[in-house]
Amino acid sequence: MKLPKQLNLLQTAGQQILDGLESHGTSLSLPGHLRANAESALRELAAADPQFDKPSPLFMQAIGPALAKANYLAGSAIGRARDVLKGHLGDEWSEAWAEAGFTSSIQTPVTAPERIELLASLSAYFESHPERQDANSDVTVGLLSLRGQELDEAFQSSNEHSRAWSVGVSNRSVAGERLRGALLAILGELEKSMPAGDSRWASFTVTSEPEVIATQIRRGRPRKNPPTEVGAKAVTSSHPIAKADTTAEFQLWQYARQLAEKAKVQADQARQSLAQAEATVQRLRAEADQATVMAKSLQAKADLLAPAGAKTARPDRSLSNERTAIDMPLPG
C-alpha cells in the first residue's frame, strides 16, 4: 500500500490499519510487537502539534517582514555611506577602505551578520572622522548605529523563533517516519499472509476494491530495513536541529520568494500597461499623420483660392517643420 506523504493523512491511514488488525489480527497471526510499535508511533504522532507541518505563520506575517525590512534599510545605509566615502577614499577598493570596515571590496555584504558587523565598523569610522559625516545623505554615526541595532534585533528574533520552530518540525517529522516504518512493516507481513484478492484487504484501507489494493501493495512494498522504535533521545540525535542562522535564512528566502512572485505579477501588469500605452502612441501618431495630410491638402486648396499676389506676400511656412497656416485640432 502506498502510504500518504502528508502526516495528517498518514495518521488517518495508521488508525485504519490498526482497526483492520483489530478485526483480523487473530486470524492473521501477526507478530505482536508490530501492532504495539504502530500504536506507540501513532500516539506519538498524535501528540506532535500539526501546526509544524506548515511554515510558521508568525514568521511569514511578522518576523519575516520585519527582518526583510531591517535588512533592506541596513543595505541602503551601507550604500549611502559608501557613496559618501568615495569622495574621500576613491571609487576603487584600497587599504584605506579597510579602516571603514570594507575589508576586501566595497560591495554591500549579502548576509545579515556581515551587514551588522560592517555597520558597526562604519559607525566607529565616522565617530573617528566626524567631519566626513553627511547629514543630507543620512550618513551619521547615530543613523548607522540605529540601522545595525534594528537588523541585529530582527535577526536575533528570527533565530530564536526558527530554533523553537525547528524543534517542533523535527519532533513531528521523526514521529511521522516512525509511524510510516511501523505501518510498512505491518503491510509487509499482511502481504505474506493474504493473497491479493483477499476480501480482508478492504479492512485496512478506505479503498474497498481488493484489486486496487493489491496493485498498491505490489507497487509500494515495504523497505527492507524499516525504522525501529525511536526513543526521546533519538529525536535530537537522528534529526539534528538546523543551525539557527541557516533556518532563519531559509525562512527569509521563503518570504523573499513570495515577494518575488508578487513582483513578477506586478511586472507582468506593468508590461501589459506599457504595451497598451505603446499601442495608444502608435494610434495617435497615425491620427497625427492623417491630420498633417489633411492640413497640407487644405493649404494647397487655400493657395489656389488665394487672390493674385497673396502668395508672394505671405511668408513660406513649411508644414513639415513648422505649424500649419490653419490651426486644426488633431482628432481623438
pLDDT for residue 86: 95
245-263: average pLDDT = 58
CB 218 within 8 A of CB 1: no
What percentage of the chain exceeds 70 in pLDDT? Answer: 71
CB 76 within 8 A of CB 123: no
Please state, rounded to an integer, the average pLDDT across all residues of the chain: 76
167-185: average pLDDT = 89
pLDDT band at 328 (very low <50, low <70, confident <90, very high): very low
Q: Where do we find the cell 526521546?
A: 232
Handedness of CA 115, 117, 118, 124 (dihedral sign): positive
Domain ranges of the chain: 1-242, 245-313
How far is the C-alpha of 316 from the C-alpha of 313, rounded, in Å?
A: 9
- Between 54 and 211, where is the model more confident? 54
How far is the C-alpha of 122 from the C-alpha of 77, rounded, in Å?
A: 10
How many residues belong to the chain?
A: 332
pLDDT for residue 259: 65
pLDDT for residue 311: 52
Comparing 161-170, 286-295, 322-331, the range with the smallest average pLDDT is: 322-331
pLDDT band at 261 (very low <50, low <70, confident <90, very high): low
pLDDT of residue 306 exceeding 80: no
CB 10 within 8 A of CB 50: no
How far is the C-alpha of 99 from the C-alpha of 111, rounded, in Å?
A: 20
pLDDT of residue 164 exceeding 80: yes
- Burial of 127-147, coded b for 16+ CB within 10 Å and e otherwise, reads eeeeebbeeeebbbbebbbbb
Tell me: the pLDDT tens digits for 225-248? 433 333 333 333 333 333 444 455
pLDDT of residue 131 exceeding 90: yes
How far is the C-alpha of 73 from the C-alpha of 91, rounded, in Å?
A: 23
pLDDT for residue 78: 97
CA-to-CA separations, 143 to 7, 22, 102, 139, in angstroms, rounded: 48, 69, 18, 7
pLDDT for residue 236: 36
pLDDT of residue 90 exceeding 90: yes
Closest CA to 53 of 155, 168, 153: 168
How far is the C-alpha of 22 from the C-alpha of 17, rounded, in Å?
A: 9
Which grid cell is 299?
Answer: 493649404
How far is the C-alpha of 122 from the C-alpha of 85, rounded, in Å?
A: 10
136-143: average pLDDT = 95
28-56: average pLDDT = 84
pLDDT for residue 161: 92
Instruction: Give pTM, 2 decimals.
Output: 0.53
Local structure of 210: helix, strand or coil: helix
pLDDT for residue 293: 80
- Between 18 and 134, where is the model more confident? 134
How far is the C-alpha of 128 from the C-alpha of 134, rounded, in Å?
A: 14
